[in-house]
Structure 1
Amino acid sequence: MNYLRSRFQVSVGPARVYVNDEGTRTFLGLTVTTGLEAVTKTSQRLDRCLDEYGLPPFYEEGSFHLSVAWAVGDRSAALQRLLPELDTAVATYASQSPLVCDVTRLECRCGNRRFDVPLGGTGR
């Protein structure tokens, strides 16, 4: 399967807190639990492209997630305390309706420029 051109699905699960490298933003994300192979292969292709331009990989160790909220500054300590409650809420919701996302396009942001890559066909 050509993961960069085919649509795919991911499911998300437990919450995790992320802080950007500068410590200026905190994100609450739901971790990818299924569809990881497609996301990983897509990330590897992106890394090969970055390498062609002498740039470092996007992330050495990717933590694939769907960001659902953000706040200014490093708010990780406060959010970490809420994770058990958030995970319970996510699990309760997911037991009634699976948390599945159709990935139909990729969006890459470099500085203030944005590139959209529509994905065709189905990868399912």
Structure 2
Amino acid sequence: MTAKLSYQYVVLRCVPRVEREEFLNVGVVLYCHATDFLDVAWQVDRERLQAFDPRIDVDQVCDALDFVKAVCTGDPRVGAAATKPVSQRFGFLKAPKSTVIQPGPVHGGLTSDPPRQLERLLHQLVG
């Protein structure tokens, strides 16, 4: 039997117009302390986002999600965040923000395969 590992995740939401409080799920960040795993999976549906706000810069949304990926991988181009331990990088990513990309509440679960669980969550929560 494969050991189950606890993990935490947040759903990343695109909030084109913050004042309207409408959002579309665009990604998932998953953190597993036991394996030092931190990664993001994302998928942007341009047509759905533009239905929320035709003026949204979808490329800018994708750039913001690429930044999240860089924080997850510790890419030095993201500055000081890259030098922090994985747990602190997850803390940075799950913190509430008043930007177009916002994390939802932290959820948890058990898995024997964090990367596979991340893909499952992306399929279930983002589409």
* Pairwise TM-score range, normalised by the shorter structure: under 0.3
- Normalised to the residue count of structure 1, the TM-score between the two structures is 0.27
TM-score by length of 2: 0.27
Please tell me whether Structure 1 or Structure 2 has the larger radius of gyration of its CA atoms.
1
Task: Flag the structure with higher strand content.
Answer: 1
Structure with the higher fraction of residues in helix conformation: 2
